[in-house]
Amino acid sequence: MASAAPAVHLHLGHEQRTSGSGGTHPHLHPVSQQTQADIPLAGAKEVEEAVAKAVAVQESWRRTAPEVRRDILNRLADLLEANKAELARMAALDGGTTLMVGERGVDTAVGWTRYYAGWCDKMSGELISTFDTRGELSYTVPEPIGIVGIIITWNGPLISLGMKVAAALAAGNCVICKPAEITPFAPEMFARLCKEAGVPDGVLSIFPGTGEAGDAIVRHKKIRKISFTGGPITARKILTACAEEIKPSVMELGGKSASLVFPDCDLQAAAERAVFWTVGCLSGQGCALPTRQLVHASVYDDFVARLKAIIGQFKVGDPTDPTVAVGPVINKAAVDRILGMFERAKADGAAKFELGGGRCGGELADGNFIEPTLIVDADPDHEISQVEIFGPAVVVMKFETEEEAIAIANNSEYGLAAMIQSNDLQRVHRISERLSAGGVYVNGGFQINPYTPFGGIGISGFGKEGGKAGIDEFLHYKTVTIGVGAPIFPK
């Protein structure tokens, strides 16, 4: 695996710093586990400086013509697209994302950036009342919130940047963004391309940082809203701070999504999708992946056999090898956590491991590689079926009736996504209404299209990204009411 990594900077507006008050973080090569870079970290000091830069340009950016913001974001999309191969390489260096998945991630970020570029000159309020109808003129005006804080996690950082930063800038906000220090290279390139695209100095600051930096972003009184992607544990800390500051937030958290497989679907296509999204995509390290496969009893054995055959074709190894479908997981702690879940499921007799269930051997033995794992006959109430594995594994359960399938699917604290594999249109509509999830995706429908709202319920979070709802998260609607000047005490 080529190890050339770009120098990472703290981007405070257009200023690039090679060091910060938070010290450094040693970034380990995702395959060799050798230190390949020391990543500078921001602390509270840099947050304060970035906010000062944003405050200085906040009003001029708000008053910038929407067509200008549109053109900047379209140029950014062009630059992302032109640098697809290099951005995919950055994803591989960041955390071991395979080149194919990395390139798909670039396409996703490009799509979101173009979509929200299109919203820049289309935001509008509404006329609510007129002098003739109610004796006063009332209307609403969409306005940017001001300065927003964006904190993203390590899996697919470029996708998260496209989903969040583009919408916030399109709405006319300034942005202070903290990506995860363990995946710094794609965000570094994104920051450079934003400057090249013409984002004005001070409007956008991007820097990896310490927990202190994250806390400073959340608690800063001039940062008026937080958008966070990550897990429930960190989310609770952020929400506590937001509550103390009476600050709104968007929370895009985890998921344990169920895919309901019925006999009338294309079983081979459904099996291929199941394996790609749970084993191949980010090595299973994604929030809206169909990690629980609920399969009708009449096709259960057939479907399991198809999954087993497909998983067997997925090559594990160096993510920069174009023939590799499954890269490493993010770090050794993830390996230990995943293997611990597997061992507990085995010890408790909660599932049968049809494939995998351990660490890869041979030349991959010293890396963070987990065998692609097929877990069948799983207990729906056990940890293996209730908690995110966040590794290349798929859990399969059997059901007899629609009612049972719905009950198993809804037996989760999460509620980000649910999937249905069926060609029965009435069944699809009937079940979609009853699944407890922020979105239902049928026969391969994509979870994170830029034009559809995405977000969960329960411990999967709240708020939306995508569609008009996604840009509304970064706006407030001011009401203006004009009276006729009638005296308060009529004569």
Name the nearest CA neighbour of 88 among 324, 307, 299. 324
The total number of structural domains in the chain stands at 2
Report yes or no on 487 lying in a domain: no
What is the total residue count of the chain? 491
Q: Please, which residues have CB within 8 angstroms of residue 350's CB and are 6 or more apart in sequence? A: 344, 378, 379, 382, 383, 384, 385
Q: Which residues of 61-77 are buried (b: 16+ CB within 10 A; e: fewer)?
A: beebeeeebbebbbbbb
Residue 450 lies in a domain: no
Is residue 202 a contact partner of residue 115, using CB atoms and an 8 Å limit? Answer: no
Give CA–CA dist 433/125, Å, rounded.
31
Same structural domain, 249 and 388: no
pLDDT, averaged per 10 consecutive residues of the chain (491 residues), comes to 81 98 96 94 98 98 98 98 97 96 98 98 97 96 98 97 98 98 98 98 98 98 98 96 98 97 98 98 97 98 98 97 97 97 98 98 96 98 98 98 98 98 98 98 98 98 98 98 90 78
Q: What is the pLDDT of residue 60?
A: 98
Contact 455, 254 (CB under 8 A): no
Kindly report, residue by residue over 180-195, the tens digit of the pLDDT.
999 999 999 999 999 9
pTM of the predicted model as reported, rounded to 2 decimal places: 0.96
Q: Which residues of 130-155 are buried (b: 16+ CB within 10 A; e: fewer)?
A: eeeeeeebbbeebbbbbbbbbbbbbb
- The amino acid sitting at 381 is D
Question: Considering only CA atoms, which of 59, 69, 42 is closest in space to residue 220?
Answer: 42
Q: Are residues 316 and 248 in the same domain?
A: no
Q: What is the CATH number of the domain that holds 228?
A: 3.40.605.10
Return the DSSP state at 250: E
Residue 56 lies in a domain: yes
> Are residues 19 and 137 both part of a single domain?
yes
Q: Examine residue 181 and state whether it is found in any structural domain, yes or no.
A: yes
Do 220 and 263 fall within a single domain? no
- Whether residues 265 and 166 share a domain: the answer is no
295 and 424 co-located in one domain = yes
Are 219 and 137 in the same domain?
A: yes
Q: What is the domain extent for residue 379?
A: 258-442
The Cα-based distances of 152 to 31, 101, 187, 237, 394 in angstroms read: 23, 19, 10, 14, 25
39 DSSP β-pair partners = 25
Catalytic residue among 46, 188, 252, 473: 252
DSSP 86-147: HHHHHHHHHH---HHHHHHHHHHHHHHHHHHHHHTTT----EEE-HHHHSSEEEEEEEE-SE
Instruction: Say if strands 258-261 and 461-462 run parallel, antiparallel, or are unpaired.
Output: unpaired
Is residue 436 within 8 Å of residue 410, measured between CB atoms?
Answer: yes
For residue range 318-353, list pLDDT tens digits in order: 999 999 999 999 999 999 999 999 999 999 999 999
215 and 317, same domain (yes or no): no
Question: Cα–Cα distance between 431 and 403 in angstroms, integer?
Answer: 9
Same domain, 169 and 302: no
Is 287 tagged catalytic?
yes
> Does some domain include residue 69?
yes
Q: Is 368 inside a domain boundary?
A: yes
Helices H, strands E: what count in the chain? Answer: 16, 20
Domain co-membership, 204 together with 350? no
C-alpha dihedral sign at 44, 50, 51, 56:
positive
Q: Looking at the structure, do residues 346 and 394 belong to the same domain, yes or no?
A: yes
Please indicate, yes or no, whether residues 207 and 354 belong to a single structural domain of this protein. Answer: no
Residue 188 designated active-site: no
pLDDT of residue 6: 92
pLDDT score of 3: 57
Q: What is the pLDDT of residue 4?
A: 80
Residue 485, domain member (yes or no): no
Q: Which of 287, 354, 371, 388 is catalytic?
A: 287
Strand partners, 294: 260, 397
According to the model, what pLDDT value does residue 267 have?
98
- CATH number, residue 386: 3.40.309.10
Cβ contact 320:1 at 8 Å: yes
Query: Please, are residues 354 and 375 in contact by the beta-carbon 8 Å criterion?
Result: yes
Quick check: is 145 in a domain? yes
Residue with tokens 């023939």, as numbered in its chain: 323
